[in-house]
Chain A
Amino acid sequence: EVQLMESGGGLVQPGGSLRLSCAASGYTFSTYEMNWVRQAPGKGLEWVSHISSASRTIYYADSVKGRFTISRDNADNSLFLQMNSLRVEDTAIYFCVRVSGSGRHIDYWGQGTLVTVSS
């Protein structure tokens, strides 16, 4: 069974940093692309970042470019999101998601971790 478990969320002041982690299990992590998707309280879904299976290709939403860094450790079945220079508008639930091996859609979602940026 595919499982994605996020951790690392919490309360941080504006301008601060936070590192999210996602532990993957139940499949061969190293062969799948991964993304982060976020959802602000009461709002819709916003795609944040993409990383290819071997980390060769990385993309970011304009809203986080230059502040967030996605990475992965295939030996440890883990996905990361380093978030720097956090803003109030980064407050959201952050979902770790797997991109399907047979297409470009998201086929599995973690339960999410809440990041609150507030003074």
Chain B
Amino acid sequence: EIQMTQSPSSLSASVGDRVTITCRASQDVSIWLAWYQQKAGKAPKLLIYAVSSLQSGVPSRFSGGGSGTDFTLTISNLQPEDFATYYCQQANSFPRTFGQGTKVEIK
């Protein structure tokens, strides 16, 4: 089973900040890395797939990068609606696994 480790677990930031979340896989996951955003009481929403492809309708301030085992989600110019919990997920092999989540809070 591939373990996914996100860091940090939480962070405080201000509107307008640039935020980067890291996701590390215990094995190479090739391009099969996605990022999801979840707001309280809601279902998650796809942001980024295949490491760096932006899902349709997602603002361009969200970007993904990395390769192999180390990946990042960057939010530039943080907006009030971006305060949420973010999860990475690998889809290289079964069982699919998620990171533990990173909660982005308002400073």
A56 at the interface (CB under 8 A from B): no
Q: How far is the CA of A57 from the CA of B34 in the complex (A)?
A: 22
Q: How far is the CB of A8 from chain B (nearest CB, A)?
A: 17
Given contacts A47-B95, A50-B94, A62-B95, contact A105 B46 (CB under 8 A): yes
A95 at the interface (CB under 8 A from B): yes
Q: How far is the CA of A44 from the CA of B82 in the complex (A)?
A: 18
Nearest chain-A residue to B97 (Cβ)?
A: A47
For B87, list chain A residues within 8 Å (CB): 44-45
Q: How far is the CA of A37 from the CA of B90 in the complex (A)?
A: 14
B63 at the interface (CB under 8 A from A): no
Q: How large is the interface on A (under 10, 10 to 19, 20 to 34, 35 or more residues)?
A: 20 to 34
Given contacts A59-B94, A105-B89, A106-B89, contact A45 B44 (CB under 8 A): yes
For A9, list chain B residues within 8 Å (CB): none
Binds B, one of A12-20, A73-81, A84-92, A109-117: A109-117
B25-66 contacts to A, CB under 8 A, are: 32, 34, 36, 38, 42-46, 49-50, 55
What 16 new A-B contacts, CB under 8 Å, besides A45-B44, A95-B44? A45-B89, A47-B89, A47-B95, A50-B96, A59-B94, A95-B43, A103-B91, A104-B32, A104-B91, A105-B46, A105-B50, A106-B36, A107-B49, A109-B45, A111-B43, A112-B43
What is B's interface to A at a CB cutoff of 8 Å? 1, 32, 34, 36, 38, 42-46, 49-50, 55, 87, 89, 91-92, 94-101
